[in-house]
Amino acid sequence: MILHSLYAKGKELPIIGPVLRFGRSLWRHPALEARRLFARDRRAAHESLARFYGAGSAAHRLLERFTASPAFARAFSVGHSGDFDVMMLYTLVRMEQPDVVIETGVASGRSSTAILAALAENRKGKLYSIDLPQFYSGTAPGRYTTAEGNEELKGFVPEGKRPGWLIPDELRGRWELILGDSNAELPELFSRVPSVDMFYHDGDHSYGTMRFEFEEAWKRLRAGGLLLSDDIDWNAAWKEFLATEQPRVSFSYRHFGIARKATSV
């Protein structure tokens, strides 16, 4: 607040003003802003992993190795998962060693790539992804306001591409893509795969769909398994779910939530 006040006064001064304005423009440059956001998300990921596994665990080494890998690359389309999200997804999969991971929402496939890269390094496990693709033409999709008052994109996959188009061919052997609405496809999947080790929601963020997915997944989630969700602040679904189920551990950072199911007594 004090710095802001000093800047407001100083920017009007004859000599100091132009220097301050130029410095501020550099500070707010998109490239520098992206680096600051990355540093913030990486720090938050390390803090989260320390909470789950301890400050001296292998999780921190795995996270650093992942951020330097091609699977973390940021050449992706709109509607992608954020840096913190994929950092946590990759590292949690490496640490938990799941046999079955289910996600809803694929878009360009950044989250799927992070999960599949971890499964490949684990040398075990399979990812089932459910996606109801929405395509857009041009350089970027338009936006609209949902019935719940949130701003959403009108499309997530560029015209001419398929959901998960970023996923490298060498990672696709552990991946099954299911096209359709999760409200219909998730029960069908659970009839084939009755138990899940890790479930990640990043599809339709309406209250009804989020509650449905959380409840369906929680029933099939193994003891000690992880439920994860993006955009938990879009509605009350995540908060209400936690209040009802009382997971052993829960944590959130910005829009991303993690809950661990209690182990068997």
Question: Can you tell me the distance from the alpha carbon of 128 to that of 175, in angstroms, rounded to the nearest whole number?
Answer: 6
Q: Label residue 265 by pLDDT band (50, 70, 90).
A: very low
Q: Which residues, including other chains, have CB under 8 Å from residue 218's CB and lie 6 or more apart?
A: 227, 241, 245, 261
Q: Tell me: pLDDT of 260 over 80.
A: yes
Tell me how far apart the alpha carbons of residues 73 and 83 are, in angstroms, rounded to a whole number.
10
What's the sign of the alpha-carbon dihedral 34, 172, 118, 68? negative
Q: Could you tell me the sign of the dihedral formed by the alpha carbons of 25, 31, 35, 38, in that order? A: positive
Strand partners, 179: 131
Residues pairing with 101 in the sheet = 127, 198
Q: pLDDT-based confidence at 254, cuts 50/70/90?
A: confident
CA distances from 178 to 30, 195, 209, 212 (A): 36, 17, 17, 18
Question: What average pLDDT score do residues 184-210 get?
Answer: 96
pLDDT band at 27 (very low <50, low <70, confident <90, very high): very low
Q: Which backbone phi and psi does 8 adopt, to 5 degrees?
A: -60, -35
Q: Mean pLDDT, to the nearest integer, of 101-127?
A: 96
The Cα–Cα gap between 149 and 164 comes to 28
- Using DSSP, state whether 28 is helix, strand or coil: coil
What φ, ψ does residue 253 adopt, rounded to 5°? Answer: -140, 120
Our separate counts of H helices and E strands in the chain read 9, 11
Sequence letter at residue 146: T
CB under 8 Å, gap of 24 or more: what pairs does 230-233 form?
A: 230/81, 230/85, 230/105, 230/200, 230/201, 230/202, 230/205, 230/255, 230/256, 231/202, 231/205, 231/255, 232/256, 232/257
Greatest mean pLDDT range, 80-84, 172-176, 232-236: 172-176
Domains of the chain with bracketed CATH: 55-260 (3.40.50.150)
pLDDT score recorded for residue 26: 45
Is the pLDDT score of 238 beyond 50? yes
Contact 117, 70 (CB under 8 A): no
pLDDT tens-digit readout, 143-172:
878 888 878 777 788 888 999 999 999 999
* Lowest-confidence region among 9-13, 123-127, 158-162: 9-13
What is the model's pLDDT at position 13? 60
Whether 10 has a pLDDT exceeding 70, the answer reads: no
What is the Cα–Cα distance from 128 to 182, expressed in whole angstroms? Answer: 12
Quote the pTM value. 0.86
